[in-house]
Amino acid sequence: MKTVARGERFRVIDDFLEAPDLAQIRNLMADQDFQETPSVVYPESDGSAFRSRGAVLRHDMESESAQGGTVELPRAYGRVVRELHSHSDMFGVPGEDWSIVGFSFWKYSAGSRLGWHNDVAAGRRGEFVFFLHDEWKASWAGELLLLDTDPGAIEIDESGMSPLEIVEAKVSVAPPCLTAIVPKPNRLVLVEEGTIHCIQRVDRTAGRAVRRTMTGFVASKSPGETGSESRKIDRLVSLLGSE
């Protein structure tokens, strides 16, 4: 495991899991049932992805059972949660600033993308993306693109714009260059809350190869308690990590 890139609002960790734990989490993903999920950003142009049922874990690496007790986590899940613990400068102190980790497994096939957005919700501290496919070629695209600067520092005329239009307008005029993170297998990406980002469209040359991720968030309360955010942004949060 090694940190290969670090920005103001993100970190990239390669070779995150040892082979046995990586095999375990890939097997866990393979056992999931997936539902086709239209984009909640631009459904008419983004296309659909496939999402598993979400899970919510406590910061102390336990998961509540339906009977009110706890169940033992797979090693791979615990490894992800422990890594989030070690980035308190980014997400805050576990048990104080955040108390839950929510995630779903996602699959993006050739032709699919997710447009520019920033996953903002009450209590949310940040998110993570863990790439789980066996192979990925750079020419297949599907990069995680992000704007590594505070969105609040980018001034635009927001008159008459929807929240998503504001996000895209800020990307269009922002002085910094965009950061492109290739979806390399066994790569974990950590992103600070509110960071503007998108998923580049998976190129048709990917053929039957699928972009596979475990994607989730770090938060202080349930993502269902989001208050007055726009409906589309609320739906992003409710999907337990839209990337």
Mean pLDDT of the chain: 87
Domain extents in the chain: 2-238
Categorize the per-residue pLDDT at 29 as very low, low, confident or very high, splitting at 50, 70 and 90.
very high
Q: What is the mean pLDDT of residues 150-160?
A: 93
pLDDT: is 234 or 119 the higher one?
119
- N-terminal to C-terminal alpha carbon distance within the chain: 22
Nearest to 120 by CA among 57, 200, 191: 191
Residue 206 has pLDDT above 50, yes or no: yes
CATH architecture label of 2-238: Sandwich (2.60)
**Helices assigned H by DSSP within the chain:** 19-30, 43-46, 75-85, 88-91, 163-173, 231-238
Return the exposure string of 220-232: e unless at least 16 CB atoms fall within 10 Å of the residue's CB, then b. Answer: beebeebeeeeeb
Provide the CB-side half-sphere exposure for 193 (13 A, CA).
Answer: 18
**Amino acid sitting at position 80:** V
- pLDDT for the residue numbered 231: 45
Q: What is the mean pLDDT of residues 206-233?
A: 72
| Nearby residues of 46 by Cβ (< 8 Å), 6 or more positions away | 38, 39, 112, 113, 114, 115
Categorize the per-residue pLDDT at 73 as very low, low, confident or very high, splitting at 50, 70 and 90.
confident
Contact call for residues 188 and 129 (beta carbons, < 8 A): yes
- pLDDT for the residue numbered 59: 80
Residue 150 has pLDDT above 70, yes or no: yes
Residue 239 has pLDDT above 90, yes or no: no
- Bridge partner residues of 189 (DSSP): 12, 129
Nearest to 242 by CA among 150, 165, 129, 131: 129
Categorize the per-residue pLDDT at 66 as very low, low, confident or very high, splitting at 50, 70 and 90.
very low
Contact call for residues 91 and 123 (beta carbons, < 8 A): no
Residue 229 has pLDDT above 60, yes or no: no
- Bridge partner residues of 234 (DSSP): none
The two three-digit tokens of residue 174, written as one number: 């922002």
Query: What whole-number distance in Å separates Cα of residue 17 and Cα of residue 25?
Result: 9
- pLDDT for the residue numbered 70: 57
SS3 annotation, 88-135: HHHHCCECCCECEEEEEEEEECCCCCEEEECCCCCCEEEEEEEECCCC
pTM: 0.87
- Please state, for a pLDDT cut of 90, what percent of the chain lies above it: 73
Q: What is the mean pLDDT of residues 223-230?
A: 43
Percentages helix, strand, coil for the chain (3-state, rounded to 5) are 25, 30, 45
Categorize the per-residue pLDDT at 243 as very low, low, confident or very high, splitting at 50, 70 and 90.
low
